[in-house]
Amino acid sequence: MSEQVRIEAAGCMLDIEHAFVGSSAPAAPLLVFLHEGLGSLAMWRDFPSRLCEATGHRGLVYSRPGYGRSTPRAPDEHWGVDFMHQQARDVLPALLTALQAPPRYALFGHSDGGSIALIHAATFPERVTRAIVLAPHIVVETLSVASIAAVRETYRSTDFRAKLARHHDDVDSAFWGWNDIWLKPAFARWSIKALLPDIRCPLLAIQGEQDEYGTMAQIDGIAEALPGGQCRLLELEHCGHSPHRDQPAAVIAASGAFFALDAQP
C-alpha cells in the first residue's frame, strides 16, 4: 500500500507516492528504486519485494513527480534537458530527508532511473554504498531516439495509452513529459559521461542484448570511465530493455551476489 509525503524541491511543493518493501529490521540497509521513463511505483509490480527479500534490504519505491500517484506535471510544463539532473540532485535528496532515510543507502535504477542513479552517485559519493543500473543512458543514441519516436505513434494510435493509464493518475503528464524532451533536438547532445569518474561506490550495470532503446555502448562506457574492478557488467541474452521483467531470476541472482560482496572479509 503506497503513501504520500510532501516535499519541497526545485522551488515546488510536491506530493510523492512511495512505499517501503522488504525487510522491516531496524538495521536493514536501504535500497532505493528509481523507475524508467514511463514507469511508476505500481509498474515495478512485485520485483522490489522479491529483490529485497533475497538480499535482506529495506526497499524504498516511489513515483517521481509527473508519474503514478505523485504530483502530475502541469499541462504547460516542459521538462528541460537537465530533468534527470534535477531528479537526482533535488527531488531524491528532498524525499530522503522527508522520510528520515539513513545517511547511506544503495540505488537500483532502470533506464532513465538508471541515469538518475548514476548522477546521484556521482553528486553524493559519500552517501551511496552501491548502485545497480539496468539499461541506463549515459549518452543519447540514434537507436534510442528512433524507438522513442515510434512509441509516440503507438501512444496516439493504439490502446497503449489506456494500458499505461492504469498506472498513472495523469497518463498524459507521464507520457508527454518524457517523450517530448527525449525528442527535442537539443537533447541529442545530452551526456553524463563527464560525471562518471566522480562515482566512488561499486557498481553493477546490466543490459539486455535485444534492448530496443540502447546498445552495449552504454554500459561499456560506464566501465571505461571507472577504475578497474569498480564496475561489473552483465549482458543478458533473450532480454530487451527491461531486464527485471524479461530475466528477473538472473537480475536477482546477480544483484544478490553483488551485494554479498559487502559481507566478504
59-81 tens-digit pLDDT: 999 999 999 999 999 988 999 99
What are the DSSP E strand ranges found in 171-230?
203-208
pLDDT for the residue numbered 263: 53
pLDDT for the residue numbered 75: 87
pLDDT for the residue numbered 139: 98
Average pLDDT over residues 82-99: 98
HEC-encoded secondary structure of 58-111: EEEEECCCCCCCCCCCCCCCCCCCCHHHHHHHHHHHHHHHHCCCCCCEEEEEEC
153-209 tens-digit pLDDT: 999 999 999 999 999 999 999 999 999 999 999 999 999 999 999 999 999 999 999
Opening angle at CA 31, ends 26 and 36, nearest 5:
150
pLDDT for the residue numbered 51: 98
Say yes or no to pLDDT of 265 above 60.
no
Categorize the per-residue pLDDT at 27 as very low, low, confident or very high, splitting at 50, 70 and 90.
very high
pLDDT for the residue numbered 262: 64
Q: Is the full-model pTM beyond 0.95?
A: yes
Say yes or no to pLDDT of 90 above 60.
yes
Which residues, including other chains, have CB under 8 Å from residue 52's CB and lie 6 or more apart? Answer: 21, 22, 23, 31, 58, 59
Output the average pLDDT for the chain.
96
Opening angle at CA 74, ends 72 and 78, nearest 5:
110
32-46 tens-digit pLDDT: 999 999 999 999 999
215-263 tens-digit pLDDT: 999 999 999 999 989 999 999 999 999 999 999 999 999 999 999 986 5
Categorize the per-residue pLDDT at 264 as very low, low, confident or very high, splitting at 50, 70 and 90.
very low
Q: Where are the domains of the chain?
A: 3-263
pLDDT for the residue numbered 26: 85
pLDDT for the residue numbered 23: 95
CATH code reported for the domain at 3-263: 3.40.50.1820
Q: How many CB atoms lie within 10 A of CB 150?
A: 11
The edge-to-edge listing of strands for the beta sheet with 105-110 is 3-9, 12-22, 58-62, 30-34, 105-110, 128-134, 203-208, 231-236
pLDDT for the residue numbered 178: 98
